[in-house]
Amino acid sequence: MFKNSLNESISALIFQEYAQKSNRYKEALKSYLDILFIVLVRFSQTEQPEHKLYAQERLDALFDLMEKNIGSKKQVSDYAEMLSMTSYQLNSITKSLVQKTTSELITEQIILEAKRLLIATTNQVNQVAYLLGYDDTSYFIRFFKKKTGHTPEAFRQHFK
């Protein structure tokens, strides 16, 4: 309520100043507009609807869970269950906050962890695949290449 009345008051002053065109009215208009924009920015920064806070908490929890479980959990339903929500609810949160599906975030986490293991360790590709929960190394290689454009070994060589 306060925000609307303040915006209306500033708007009224702007219109009044423009209509009267008193001495140095352009400078006054600029000042009023500056104040209006500052007030709008302040209100937009302080307004955090409760659902946004909840959504951000759930997203942070999802990232933590993916970081800890990416080797064993790759399904959206797994993470939704761990967060005590439905897959639909989880996807809704990820789409609204990061404009990606939960599945896309899981894939990104798998690739990120694979890259980390390939660069930071001397593990063979089949060991990396196993650590990430892939029993079929050739499937992991195809998946990695599809997502990055490089085979795991070529990726490792490129960054040595």
Q: Band of the pLDDT at 133, cuts 50, 70, 90?
A: very high
pTM, rounded to two decimals: 0.68
* 136-159 tens-digit pLDDT: 999 999 999 999 999 999 999 988
b/e for 115-148, b at 16 or more Cβ within 10 A? bebbeeeeeebbebbeebebeebeebbebbeeee
Residue 53's pLDDT is what? Answer: 85
What are 66-108's pLDDT values in tens digits? 999 999 999 999 999 999 999 999 999 999 999 999 999 999 9
Cα→Cα distances 76→5, 27, 32, 97, Å: 45, 56, 50, 17
Q: pLDDT category, 1, cuts 50, 70, 90?
A: very low
Count other Cβ atoms within 10 Å, centred on residue 100: 14
Q: Does domain 50-158 have CATH number 1.10.10.60?
A: yes
